[in-house]
Amino acid sequence: MDSKEAHTANRRLAQWRVTWLIEHPTSHQLLWFIDSFVLRNPPLRQAPKRWAQL
């Protein structure tokens, strides 16, 4: 597999989290809980590599 092809599959985790929150209806209390959890655990800026380098 070409190294350029490997980078196309990676998605940013922070972007996925925002998309999930927008698409799923939640209550105010649940959003407060998620916000406090996110503040304690900041998201990774890039997804980990899915396979080991040879």
What pLDDT tens digit does each residue of the chain (54 aa) get? 555 555 545 555 555 555 555 555 656 666 666 666 666 666 666 666 777 666
CA-CA distance, 32 to 41, in Å (whole number)? 14
In this predicted structure, what is the pLDDT of residue 12? 55
Quick one: angle between helices 13-23 and 28-40, nearest 10? 170
Q: What is the pLDDT of residues 41-52, one digit of tens each?
A: 666 666 667 776
- Biggest CA-to-CA distance, the chain: 47
Q: Where are the domains of the chain?
A: 3-52
* pLDDT recorded at residue 27: 60
**What pLDDT shows up at residue 35?**
66
Which tokens belong to 42? 């900041």
Residue positions counted in the chain: 54
